[in-house]
Amino acid sequence: MNTNIEVLGGGASTVAVGAAERQRVLRNTYALLALSMLPTVLGAWIGLQTGIATAMSPMLGLVVFMAGAFGFIFAIEKFKNSGVGVGLLLGFTFFMGLMLARLLGFVLSKGNGAGLVMTAFAGTSAVFFGMAVLSSTVKRDLSGLSRFLFIGAIGLLVAMIANVFLQSGALMLTLSVLAIGIFSAFILVDLKRVRDGEETNYVTATLGVYLSLYNVFQNLLVLLGVFGGDD
């Protein structure tokens, strides 16, 4: 009888530790995500002030973006278990801010550009908080959705690269709408993985959520710049 009580007690203790670890990873993810906004804003401001992103042609900009983004992502994953990974992640968000400057410059050139940027920020924040709440209430396994979203993201990337050559406004707007839906769902999946203990590294978790938020914000800016701009 005593032995059974000890076994049950040990099991309860293990569950408690597991729950505590999941909460720790989630807290660290949220904290690092908030911190990553600072270098993003700094990078965007420097990009606007220097015009470095605008000076590049669309093709050169695409090459620099793809090489920089995938290079940073590879390095972050390699060093994710050390402070170097955190530093690389913050460097990556600075780079992403720089790359956002061209689109920000276009939107800010509108008569109501500042308002459009704030609207895009508010919309992105609403998506994040909505997915965060949903991730705490959804009970079903989302691994199937994750695979579907990954395929959709690859198709989206290929279509966006193709549109650099096609220069189709209608395709660009269609892809922006799809991107907002796909990456909003990615936020839900990534946060749910942390809550379920499937993702135990907060650097990797932050990277995934940051990329999704970046894409939601960027594509909201595209839509608002086209439909909400006041010239």
Say if residues 89 and 206 touch (Cβ distance below 8 Å). Answer: yes
pLDDT at site 2: 41
CB 73 within 8 A of CB 207: yes
Give the Cα separation of 231 and 222 in Å (integer): 15
Q: Express each pLDDT in 77-86 by its tens digit.
A: 999 999 999 9
**pTM of structure:** 0.89
Give pLDDT tens digits for 101-134.
999 999 999 989 999 999 999 999 999 999 999 9
What percent of the chain clears pLDDT 90, i.e. is strictly above it?
73
What is the per-residue pLDDT across 168-196, written as a single tens digit (0 to 9) for each?
A: 989 999 999 999 999 999 999 999 999 99
Q: What is the mean pLDDT of the chain?
A: 89
Distances (CA, A) of 88 to 31, 153, 199: 16, 24, 19
Helix (H) or strand (E) run with residue 155 in it: helix 143-166
8 Å CB contact between 69 and 13: no
The amino acid at 111: G
Q: How confident is the model at residue 165 (pLDDT cuts 50, 70, 90)?
A: confident
